[in-house]
Structure 1
Amino acid sequence: GPVTGIGRSYRDAPDIDGIVSFHGAGEFHPGDIIPVRVTSATTHDLCGEVVTRQTPD
């Protein structure tokens, strides 16, 4: 799907390492920590989808 956001993993430095582009429902802001499941990768970057948490019934 279309890219919802672009970020980096906790192990990546800005302007040096690759990015993590992701899609999923929700509203995201700079500085948010978003759980993402990686679904594909390129040489330097990761792509994924936002992991939604299931609440018990």
Structure 2
Amino acid sequence: MAADEKAKAKTEQATGKVKQAAGSALGNERLEAKGHADEAKGHARQAKEDIKDELKGKGKDERP
């Protein structure tokens, strides 16, 4: 399940970047702001998963 959550995090980050770029290109501030929010949500989800890994003893140095 952790891999699924990590994939969701990356997807949210990528979606956010696309929305930001589209909003910027179109001059749509609302879309650009939504992109920032989606990207931040993805970063938060990723941080949560990293913390869970650390607590389980699977630090970045120990990952395969």
Task: Give yes or no for TM over 0.5.
Answer: no
The TM-score range, normalised by the shorter chain, is under 0.3
Scaled by the length of structure 1, the TM-score of the pair is 0.23
Scaled by the length of structure 2, the TM-score of the pair is 0.22
Could you say which structure has the larger radius of gyration? Answer: 2
Bigger relative contact order, structure 1 or 2 (CA pairs below 8 A, ≥6 apart): 2
Q: Which has the higher strand share?
A: 1
Q: Which has the higher helix share?
A: 2
